[in-house]
Chain A
């Protein structure tokens, strides 16, 4: 019997039950937080993880009804429960929860790297090359112009000289080409999409991370004398970057080979191995000043392309990640600065709109030059709108490098990332649905597992019976 036969459709009753439980859980935590209000302790953090995991999962099921991605559900659950709306989860707890980011980013990077296959890269090299070139050149240039044009709308730009303004524009332009591997993988995990749009987006987003890191170092080097006339042009940033990139690739390759060997020789308890890597190795990488995202991405790439363990590796990460991603995105939602977004939304919306427009134009142009299939020409841009952790990380670097306007820059970056974080996944899922790449096959349910076990038990019983007959 096929387990698919056990898969029940999600009826209105199922959705009603999920909505009911969601409301009940909000009510329960609301009552608990009002009963014992302020609590900056581990109990609050533990409860918050459980709450975000549950409500994120349930909200994702409910937004699925109107075709929105699960990721939006996770974010919404976090926003509503977070410190700016219902205040069920306070700022302290949100900051405590960000420790899960190290694990989530390690899993995301390894999964992203493992999804990159040499054959696919070779086939799509021309397309990838044109897309990277045009997006990396045109988006920063256009966005520099937009930032300069927006000077009257952005308070921290008003006192700057023209050269400093151009410098800030260049930094913003570099920030604008960062994408979100986590959102891309989150949507791909949900839709299980396969096809040219999914593969070209994934390849571009994962490789663009390296491009962004390099361009950011270059941008900092160029803009420093423009913004701060007292400072001189220095190649030190590039030297540091070279050390970081080479070290990360070397360590990632070694890690990938070790992981592949472990999977082949032992192959057990991969969840614990991932936990150790996510928390332990991330800590070590921070100490060595290597790039964790690149290291884990290379490791995933090595496992996929230099061993036969790729499919199993991706499956294991998916099993672990399915829980971790919910908490990761729901925490991102809780961390969203709603008052700041409310204050800056007009200019943030303008910047997001401009970025999306130029991204769309360049994606179409690159696809046309590279001779991509029509479906890619039409939809490849949609996966490039999301922004998340990397963009925020870059804004943090700018804040530290230029304290005079850094806080304003970061605030604006947070507001735009918030919009892109909400809109981007919706666009990407819509693109995958419309291009027909979203998988429609049912997922294994707990019922299918029971059916499988029943079949194993029946087979065991038959084998026992046969054995008894033979002995007799």
Chain B
């Protein structure tokens, strides 16, 4: 298929994604975080119907890098926030612990399985198992938001799950930074893995700090976009040049910008609508890269990883019921409600495929796709059941809001009218 037609298709998906942000379509169509685009990509891709061949896909590698980087940047800017409110510290720690525990469980299961069945070298085994563990760590915020929106969920359990989902991204992101740093670039000096990991985080910190510094001065709106886009692209370019994890660098950059910029609230507002517009084409590309035939043992590896994840999330759900009294009304299915995975898992999978083409990247991406699809099918339904049991859902349409006054806008001269 001609690259221009593929580009047009991706732009079309961006268009749909940006319309979904408006919320009008979200109630009626699609899986919670657009995992159907992963399936669509797989069907169109070289191992599906073959409409997108490998050569065409390779022309879109730059787009994939940029899309992943931008997604992670936006995730970084909005990390630890629910709307304009910060996630409570205890829940932030809880979210980090849950993702760490889930990730470690999936990593351990995948590592032992690969040691038993695969011919991978120890370092490749570590990379593949680590990637699968990172992809299995999160609970996607999109699915939680989707359930809350679709079923008008409001209450302490909804808040709790939402805050956990908003604060669990950093563990898999740092894990990816570490794993990528295991394969440093060929340079004249030696630096330990932790050093390269530090460079990854340092790059994000440096560019995020620069962006905050620039946006803290009097920057015009058009230049604000220039700075945000420029810093993101530069971070992706340098991280990729050094063979480091661009998604980790961009995430750290987003967190740094959000932490230091006096305009953090406004930045979140202008960046949030771009998330879906970038996410859907990225999911489609990730789906197209997915190859479930990469190894004979892949189905068993997937089953092992998913099994470990279900077990870990289920146990962690029980732990939440024990620790947080407000959650007890939700019942034991709360843990399964945390199974949803999506953009982050697929981003990690795609990043691994681009960085480690071959068995390592292929195993991580295929596992991430399976974890995402399974999570999408089981997670939202379980979460809905748990929230219904807690008495926090309602199938009634939301109460009509009073009409707000006409929006206030700044005209081209900067005058508010």
Contact = CB atoms under 8 A, between A and B. Distances in A.
A323 B222 contact: yes
A444 B412 contact: yes
B102 interface: no
Interface string A141-171: 0000000000000000000000000000000
A50 B210 contact: no
A452 B15 contact: no
Contacts of B66: 46
B7 A44 contact: no
A451 B15 CA distance: 29
Interface in A347-402: none
A18 B226 CA distance: 14
Contact of B4 (A49, A280, A326): A280
Contact of B238 (A28, A42, A447, A451): A28
Interface in B87-108: none
Interface in A441-469: 441-453, 455-456, 459-460, 462-464, 466-467
B185 A36 contact: yes
B8 A276 contact: yes
A123 interface: no
B157 to A, nearest CB: 25
Contacts, number: 217
A108 to B, nearest CB: 16
B217 A2 contact: no
A446 B214 CA distance: 12
Interface in B42-72: 61-62, 65-66
A288 interface: no
Contact of A451 (B241, B401, B416): B416
Which of A3, A7, A25 lies at the interface centre, i.e. has the most chain B CB atoms within 10 A of its CB?
A3
A89 to B, nearest CB: 10
A445 B222 contact: no
Given A272-B15, A450-B263, A463-B404, A444 B237 contact: no
A448 B414 contact: yes
B245 interface: no
A183 B60 CA distance: 31
Contact of A446 (B11, B224, B401, B413): B224
A50 B237 contact: yes
B395 interface: no
A445 B219 contact: yes
Given A453-B266, A463-B404, A444 B220 contact: yes
Given A7-B218, A47-B234, A54-B234, A452 B416 contact: yes
B232 A443 contact: no
A314 B223 CA distance: 18
A279 B239 CA distance: 27
B218 A279 contact: no
Given A268-B19, A276-B8, A453-B266, A50 B415 contact: no
Given A283-B4, A464-B402, A452 B415 contact: no
Name B's interface SS.
Answer: helix
A80 interface: no
B260 interface: no
Contacts of B223: 57, 322
B323 interface: no
B45 to A, nearest CB: 19
A44 B11 contact: no
Contacts of B235: 50
Contact of A50 (B220, B229, B277, B401): B229
B218 A10 contact: yes
Interface residues of B, number: 66
Contacts of A17: 213-214, 217
Interface string A105-124: 00000000000000000000
Interface in A1-54: 1-4, 7-10, 13-14, 17-18, 21, 24-25, 28-29, 32-33, 35-36, 39, 41-51, 53-54
Contacts of A449: 221, 266, 270, 410
Contact of B241 (A13, A44, A445, A466): A44
A231 interface: no
Which of A43, A48, A453 lies at the interface centre, i.e. has the most chain B CB atoms within 10 A of its CB?
A43
B240 A441 contact: no
B218 A280 contact: no
Contacts of A455: 408, 416
Nearest to B237: A47
A35 B416 contact: no
B225 A322 contact: yes
A48 to B, nearest CB: 7
Which of B222, B229, B235 lies at the interface centre, i.e. has the most chain A CB atoms within 10 A of its CB?
B222
B65 A21 contact: no
Which of A50, A441, A444 lies at the interface centre, i.e. has the most chain B CB atoms within 10 A of its CB?
A50
Contact of A279 (B4, B230, B232, B266): B4
B237 A48 contact: yes
Contacts of A269: 14-15, 18-19, 277
B257 interface: no
B76 to A, nearest CB: 16
B29 to A, nearest CB: 17
A272 B65 contact: no
Contacts of B238: 28-29, 32, 47
A134 interface: no
Contacts of B411: 444
27 contacts: A17-B214, A18-B214, A35-B187, A36-B241, A36-B242, A39-B241, A46-B62, A50-B235, A57-B223, A57-B226, A268-B19, A269-B18, A269-B19, A280-B8, A318-B222, A322-B222, A439-B413, A441-B415, A443-B412, A444-B221, A444-B410, A444-B412, A446-B221, A449-B266, A451-B410, A459-B404, A464-B402
Going nearest first, the 10 A-B pairs with the smallest beta carbon separation are: A47-B237, A50-B233, A50-B234, A43-B240, A54-B230, A322-B222, A53-B230, A467-B402, A441-B413, A42-B62
Given A50-B234, A446-B220, 14 more contacts: A14-B218, A21-B213, A36-B242, A43-B240, A48-B237, A192-B412, A269-B14, A272-B14, A280-B4, A323-B222, A444-B410, A445-B218, A453-B266, A459-B408
Interface of B: 4, 7-8, 11, 14-15, 18-19, 61-62, 65-66, 185, 187, 206, 210, 213-215, 217-227, 229-238, 240-243, 263, 265-267, 269-270, 277, 401-405, 407-416
